[in-house]
Structure 1
């Protein structure tokens, strides 16, 4: 299937999740995340979820990191729809988060963090394939962002659903993930 077809199908699947199903899937994602080796990670770029769209609840991951890995700095993206670029802001006492005009929670003020300080990027998606490519909402924010990151950075996806066989229209701008976490397991292409 193409990205467009998969986007339609998996947006519908997300909408159909009950509250209990959504909570169970998010608890599974948290358990998978907690098994990651973060020994060489100082800064994690973590997206903020649109809960109304049943996106993976990264607040659980944020809280887990604060409790178990307080030395790891968490940063959140702020999108610029005019340039299709993102900046990162530290999760600290200066951070103020509000929903933008697209209902995306993001920093409106805070301390900007340079892209080369980031060691791991947690990628949002609707679905991914067995080769390590993802389908997002279609603007390419994360592909552009990841292409600018330092060598050696880890791109880790979060998906409520398991992989599809193949995304038919992957192109040269699509960034391949190193791994993707699902509620029931971890796909690793970095072996």
Structure 2
């Protein structure tokens, strides 16, 4: 019997919590180093969408990437979720931005400008709980990122960041958008389509 998405979500949330703060911080540092190595050979990638970590869900600390990406000349974006419209809005992310948590604990820039033309984004770093060997991911089940990715032009790189290795195969639905790569603390996996 195939494990359901809700069961997988619970299992991976527990695995994250069980890591503890020191191990999560060390793994986040390794993931950021791998992300910079991934980008080192991709100078054409100039516009990057980055998720901001939800502390209570023990997500990868992507704030460690912000200054490094800006120093490398990249333009950064993140999202603000409009829960009533069930949609993410892309906003510019600038160095020195202060954060506030929204009603669900998601970090949101205190001052932001909505980006009307998302077509310039070259790469999206994706949050995930689990992923499989074919590049499909399981997030929190709201579908916001799959909806966001479906609005972007073909060719945008979709790259996950994961503390944990891939599952062999995860359950999926017709609207799930596969990743192009997933960065792990010690390696980078690429998915061929």
- TM-score using structure 2 length: 0.91
Alpha-carbon contact 1:95-1:111 (below 8 Å) kept: no
- Distance apart, 1:51 and its partner CA: 2.4
Q: Which runs of 4+ in 1 moved over 4 A?
A: 93-96
Distance 1:182 1:54 in 2: 16
- Distance apart, 1:134 and its partner CA: 0.5
- Distance apart, 1:90 and its partner CA: 1.0
Q: Does 1:60 align with 2:57?
A: no
Distance 2:21 2:94 in 1: 30
- Distance apart, 1:97 and its partner CA: 3.0
Distance 1:94 1:20 in 2: 25
- Distance apart, 1:61 and its partner CA: 1.3
Distance 1:62 1:122 in 2: 12
CA RMSD of aligned residues (A): 1.7
Alpha-carbon contact 1:94-1:109 (below 8 Å) kept: no
Determine helix, strand or coil for the equivalent of 1:38: coil
Aligned residues: 188
Cα 1:94–1:112 shift into 2, 3 Å: farther
Determine helix, strand or coil for the equivalent of 2:78: strand
| Aligned match of 2:21 | 19
Q: Which runs of 5+ in 2 are unaligned?
A: none
- Distance apart, 1:189 and its partner CA: 0.9
Determine helix, strand or coil for the equivalent of 1:86: strand
Q: Which runs of 5+ in 1 are unaligned?
A: none
Distance 2:170 2:42 in 1: 29
- Distance apart, 1:14 and its partner CA: 0.9
**Which range moved further: 107-116 or 7-16?**
107-116
